[in-house]
Structure 1
Amino acid sequence: GQRHQDSDRKRHRRGVGTRKAKEFQPASRLTDADVRGDKRSTERLLDHPLLLVVNQRLGNGHRWILPQTVHTVGETMRQTAERALAEVCGSGLEVRFLGNAPAGCYKYRYPAEFRKDGIVGAKVFFFKAQLQGGSLLADSLKKLDRASDFEWLTQTELESRMLPKYCQSVKSFLMSTEKMDCQHLLDKIESSVKRRSQHITPELDTKTKATEAVKV
């Protein structure tokens, strides 16, 4: 009698779980920011990593770039990067800088009228940082008078704002998640799980064996 009761309870639990699974409706990835086309919001394109880009004043004009400032003697490069974010965007963003070494570099030449004392150009070093919290508002940005606007952009959207060579330098240190074939990756994982469950070791073809031999 006890065995039948336990079996009935298990079937009941499975039935409840099945009903809940069928009733579950995943939340839409389309947010209000997507509907409005609001590129100042981090709540847009939830399945894409976003990068903070500012329309910063450089010389007599403005350029869409990553927040930057001039290095001061005595500072580490990371300290300069931290100061750049604070000077351009204020203290409203809570971020975590990743590492003490730059992730990338962009070199450019000054216009002829700005070259002096043998200095013909400059290097901009990029640091990676992750947003942990806080927010950035357009009014707060403008009060600092270093940039006129900002946007949170995907990698493909950078091309519409940045100069080509600068954009290429930025993209060179970003993980290209937008070109990743997610379905192919999922298929490989599923195939690997099936082989392991059946205790099957996949055979390598001649080309693969040769490649592995070279790696060793």
Structure 2
Amino acid sequence: MFVSGYLSPSGCWGSLFRQLHQNGFRNTTCLQYSSLRTGIPEIADVLVDETSAAMRRSGTDGVHLIGYSLGGLVVRYAVQQLGLDTDTVTATTIATPHRGARLAYAGLGPAARQMRTSSSLLDDLPEISSSGRVRWSLVGSTSDRVVPISSATAGGHADAVSLSAGGHLGILDSPQLAHTVMSHLGSCETERRHPEKLAS
């Protein structure tokens, strides 16, 4: 399940979609929402419903969530506050302002306000856990001028990955990103399907 960013079209995922399909992840969908009229909690509510519907359609017992920029905060809110952790295998956030972004002060709508560095919504979110049910991956770019790497990686979280390629928009087309996401999803799927390998 993909969650796009602030004012980002669903087509922004083209490169990563292709990589996923080529590697066997073919049940993919992208959440549609208005980032100008809707706040993060409301978008997260829709994500929970759409994820449940997508899982029923595909007959799967778990979901991989991938959120870009604002979409990563939607993923985080749904997992941490709305109980989506029970169905989530992995949660990947890409160029997401976990600690806010100064440029969000120039944005319009409730979601933009909630991405600001002074946001009470961000302050109220719990820290991301490395030991819980969900396997996280926080990906950021050192070339990103919109979301600083310190914010995208939640201050250098244990589950963070810093890339050198691509700025805030270009990161989605980066081969480094595709490799990072595929490695994360692939290793987690191997652990799910072959837990005996962990014990050996």
TM-score class, shorter-chain normalisation, is under 0.3
* TM-score in terms of structure 2 length: 0.27
More strand by share: 1
- Bigger Rg over Cα: 1
